[in-house]
Chains A and B, each alone.
Chain A
Amino acid sequence: MNADLFGLELNVWADAAIRLVMVVTLMTVVVMGYTYLERKIIARFNRRLGPTKTGPWGLLQAVADALKLVGKEDLRPRSADPWTFELGPYMIFIPIFMGFVIVPFIADFHIRLLDLGLIYFVAISSVSIVGWVMAGWGSDNRYAMLGALRSVAQGISYELPLVLSLLAVGMYAGSFNLGVIIAGQDVVPNIVWQPMAAFIFFIAALAELNRTPFDIPLGESEVVGGPFVEYSGIRWSMFQLGEYASIFIMSLVFSAVFLGGWMWPFGEDLGRWFQVLLSGIKAGGFFFVVVWIRISVPRMRIDQLMGYSWKVLLPLALVQVLVNGLVMVNGWHEVTLLISGLVGVAVLVTVTGRVVAAPSVRPGPARPLMPTPAIAQGEAVS
């Protein structure tokens, strides 16, 4: 059996191996680029310069960071559970890598375009939650445990709107195959017809990525880094690598599903490098917005986060699926989708503030560790 890779006739296995190596290399480079970009963007927003000393314009900062992390001692707390502690980072890292299988980077390069690609993507990306729990539990640290439990609650809640928004697009496009979805966007990208789905996907993706304002599992000012508080050196860098790799894949999926990937607005005639550029610009734009949000808004509280997912995003995502179904069954014009989608976005934007800002129920009474001293209760102490 032979396969076709850039015009080369290759054995299927060799072909798959070459594609994997290419994707892993690309991912590593992009992750380094993303860390550099994030530092630079944040620095500019903060009226700083960011890295400047390592290489021209500080371009080698990511390399320097990586070298430093590799050189650090790989510490493990004595009370940690060795297996879960050591395997935790891999369990986060591997599912994220596996997600790259279904992503079409350009017209003729991808690993495998599965017919149930999107379903595979959401299924595989939620596996990394197991890794978070392993890291949190194995560390034998209460901050880590708290962060891990937060991560589970958040991951499960935001998985639903994420899946439903992708489901809506899948219904509209008629396929879960990302290649087919992109091919359908040669004239108009899906974000025009499915604006609310795009919004919901974006917000849920932020939560899936544990980015601000949903960085509750990591919350430096509360749980001091959450599940990876006990990690150091190479293991810690695997968390970082996983985090940025998942941003990369999320940005590629967003650009493929909603922005037309390499297709829109020029079609596939302009050549391979142009497609790379187009994909890169769209993914980079997504990343920029993520960083922009990171430096501008505070973190939400856990109850607000959960309430927001279940009370706002999930119902609206269901409505989007319903509207898509109605339009498809009745054969209405696509403008219906646009109008309903815009109404949906307006509702989302207005409701968001209300729901998040609604005074939440205070959790409950005190359970004192020790009896309050009489002097604190205002009684005379003799």
Chain B
Amino acid sequence: MVTEPAYEFETQDILLNVGPQHPSTHGVFRMVLSVDGEVVRDLVPHIGYLHRGAEKLCETMDYRQGIGFMDRTEYLAAFNAELSYVMAVEALTDIEVPERAQWIRMILCELNRLSSHFMFMGAFGIDVGVFATPFIYAWIGREALIDLFEEVSGDRMMFAYFRPGGLAWDVPRNFKQRVNEALVVAEQGIKDFDTMLTENEIFVARTTGVGKISAAEAIDWGMSGPSIRASGVPLDVRRDEPYLMYDQVEWDVIVGENGDVYDRYYCRLLEMRESVKIIRQCLEKMPDTGPIMPEKMPRMLRTAPGEVYVRTEAPRGEYGVYLVSKGGNRPHRLKVRSACLANLQALRDMSVGQYVADAIVVLGSIDIVLSEVDR
């Protein structure tokens, strides 16, 4: 081990301002690096550039109108974001969701996890410095999925498809076949990434041992999702508190060992395989016909006074919605528990003491969506 080099002369750390306009901050994130040559000595993250007050805006609106805002907080996995919100409203109003709607929700959420992880793979490839290739190849799988989402919900990213009680409308008649087709493309995409990145020597060299975080630290920071599972913490809301139909399908929680960047990448890759497994089972168990909304839905959705916290496993971790109602047709207070924000807190611990290039890769490996961080 080499310790601190003994300088004969005085050196000064310089401040390097990365972002808010920087190609690899994944949006408008800014971090101020204190750099000694190539080594990051300190890192101060700055967030809030994308704050739109989505939660506050929801308080001024009908419950159904809030769905659109939830889409926009987590635009890469909007189904998952909607789900938490819709489930929170359902919990307050005691609406029973029909079984078929639950299966469809589950399929769409898992498909969205796939598309979101594809996005991660592509962007991460660029972060480690491959020129566009992984990005474009990620798009093949993602495009197939997004086309499917468009057919189902009418929109490619901002779906607004889940409603308190069920779904906005039924899925297309050839839904199962279309999902199967998209899955074939997605599986090929996963395979492509195995050859493009997972076994690439330079990629492995760039990511192994970089940005380590221990299980204890990860828990302390409140991390969740693949980022904490890579550190060896088997934390997954889908298994711990099964919602939808997750208790009826067989799958594994992917857990890493080292908590480094490579593990965070590889956990996501394996998780995609598990998602495919889940979706296949869902397709088998899902009834072909049936209601997608309860028989009787009130014209105006009014909740009983009370409060509820609902959490679901979004691609980036635990996406929670805390909803306080004082009766009436709009929330009294809405708070989104953002997985990205919690994960991002650990950034400083992960990157300090490493190279500048590592800091970029570490930031990429957390897979943040700035609109979810800032809301």
Contact = CB atoms under 8 A, between A and B. Distances in A.
Interface of A: 42, 45-48, 142-143, 146, 149-150, 212-213, 215-216, 219-224, 294-304, 352-353, 356-357, 359, 361-370, 376, 378
Given A224-B23, A295-B131, A297-B202, A365 B4 contact: yes
A299 B200 CA distance: 11
16 contacts: A48-B136, A146-B16, A213-B202, A220-B129, A222-B357, A223-B356, A295-B130, A296-B133, A298-B200, A298-B202, A299-B129, A299-B130, A299-B357, A301-B205, A301-B355, A367-B13
B60 interface: no
Which one of A298, A303, A362, A368 has the greatest number of beta carbons of chain B within 10 Å? A298
B343 interface: no
A224 B22 contact: yes
B168 interface: no
A298 B128 contact: yes
Contact of A215 (B44, B129, B203, B360): B129
Contacts of B286: none
A221 B23 CA distance: 6
Contacts of B208: 357, 359
Interface in B1-60: 1-5, 13-17, 22-24, 32, 34-39, 41-42, 44
The A interface, classified by DSSP as helix, strand, loop or mixed, is: loop
B253 interface: no
Contacts of A303: 38, 355
A367 B23 contact: no
Contacts of B209: 359, 362
B132 interface: yes
B301 interface: no
Contacts of A294: 131
A370 B45 CA distance: 13
Q: How large is the interface on B (under 10, 10 to 19, 20 to 34, 35 or more residues)?
A: 35 or more
Interface in B192-226: 196-197, 200-206, 208-209, 220
A146 B355 CA distance: 12
A221 B123 CA distance: 10
B72 to A, nearest CB: 26
Nearest to A353: B201
B353 to A, nearest CB: 5
Contact of A298 (B32, B44, B203, B353): B203
Interface of B: 1-5, 13-17, 22-24, 32, 34-39, 41-42, 44, 125-133, 136-137, 140, 196-197, 200-206, 208-209, 220, 345, 352-358, 360
Contact of A146 (B126, B127, B356): B356
A361 B136 contact: no
A362 B4 CA distance: 10
Contact of A302 (B1, B17, B38, B205): B38
Contacts of B355: 301-303, 363
Contact of A364 (B4, B44, B130, B206): B4
A370 B2 CA distance: 26
A46 B356 contact: no
Contacts of A366: 41-42, 352-353
Given A46-B136, A364-B353, A301 B360 contact: no
Contacts of A223: 356
Contacts of B196: 296
Nearest to A153: B38
A47 B23 contact: no
Given A367-B41, A369-B42, A298 B129 contact: yes
Nearest to A299: B129
Given A212-B131, A296-B196, 20 more contacts: A46-B137, A47-B137, A146-B16, A216-B357, A221-B23, A222-B357, A294-B131, A295-B132, A297-B200, A299-B130, A299-B202, A303-B38, A352-B201, A364-B3, A364-B5, A367-B41, A367-B42, A368-B42, A369-B41, A369-B42
B38 A356 contact: no
* Residue with the greatest number of chain B CB neighbours at <10 A, chosen from A222, A224, A296, A302: A222
B221 to A, nearest CB: 9
B203 to A, nearest CB: 5
Contacts of A45: 133
A219 B24 CA distance: 11
Contacts of A376: 345
Contacts of B126: 221
Contacts of B35: 142, 146
Nearest to A303: B355
A219 B129 contact: yes
